[in-house]
Structure 1
Amino acid sequence: MPDVTAKVFVRLLPWTSPDGKPCFLAGDGTGYVSRMADRIEEEQLGSADDLIDEARQLLAARAWTPGELHLLAVELTATLADVRRVARSRGGRLAALGQASAPT
């Protein structure tokens, strides 16, 4: 018999559909897709750390080409979009947990 007390949350996933629309997952946060999303979020945050280090090195050298600056801006923009999606997803889950634990 299913557990009728289980909470179902909607989670913003760390990827988009092929046409760029956000993807969501409804569930209790313990399934395979949730674990995969957790792993991908960690990879995205790790990539952001790496890119920040690369940006600092490139800018500190003060010998960059316009092409290098353009590529850096493109990569930083994409990474910032990923990090923003992770932050929104985690913020939404925190808010949902707060609502779930609030007295009714």
Structure 2
Amino acid sequence: MSDGLRLLPWTTPEGKPCYLSTDNDHSRLSLLADDVEAAQLVSAERVLAGAKAVLGDTDAGEQAMRFALTRALESLREVLRIAISRGSRIPRTSAE
């Protein structure tokens, strides 16, 4: 990704990354992306709690385990995208 582009927290229907080119962190699309990221992080916390509960349940079956793992993978993908997006927007120091 080149400088000045923000990785957005969603993809195209084909699964390709979407980027935003703007110098305005308060544009409508920037604020929408912020809201989506916040919702994804809240969702990831809930998924983590649910997966932890399933893993702690000795009676949980294969279907419950698969569901929990699938949701956890989806959340991990979203959280990693957020981390990459935010990390790329951290100003670089002159020593780098």
Q: State TM-score, norm by structure 2.
A: 0.88
Q: Which amino acid aligns with 2:87?
A: G
Deviating runs (4+, > 3 A) in structure 1?
Answer: none
1-structure distance, mates of 2:15, 2:53: 32
- % identical aligned pairs: 34
Unaligned runs of 5+ in 2: none
C-alpha deviation, 1:56, in angstroms: 1.2
Q: State TM-score, norm by structure 1.
A: 0.82
Which residue of structure 1 aligns with residue 92 of structure 2? 98
After superposition, give the CA deviation of every residue in 1:54-92 in whole Å (9 maximum; x if it has no partner): 111111121111011111111111111000000000000
1-structure distance, mates of 2:67, 2:73: 10
Which residue of structure 2 aligns with residue 21 of structure 1? 16
2-structure distance, mates of 1:63, 1:50: 21
2-structure distance, mates of 1:21, 1:55: 28
After superposition, give the CA deviation of every residue in 1:33-66 in whole Å (9 maximum; x if it has no partner): 0000000001001101011111111111211110
Query: What is the total number of aligned residue pairs between the two structures?
Result: 92
Which residue of structure 1 aligns with residue 82 of structure 2? 86
Unaligned runs of 5+ in 1: 1-7
Which residue of structure 2 aligns with residue 60 of structure 1? 56
Q: Which has the larger radius of gyration?
A: 1
Q: Which amino acid aligns with 1:98?
A: R
2-structure distance, mates of 1:33, 1:67: 38
Which residue of structure 2 aligns with residue 11 of structure 1? 6
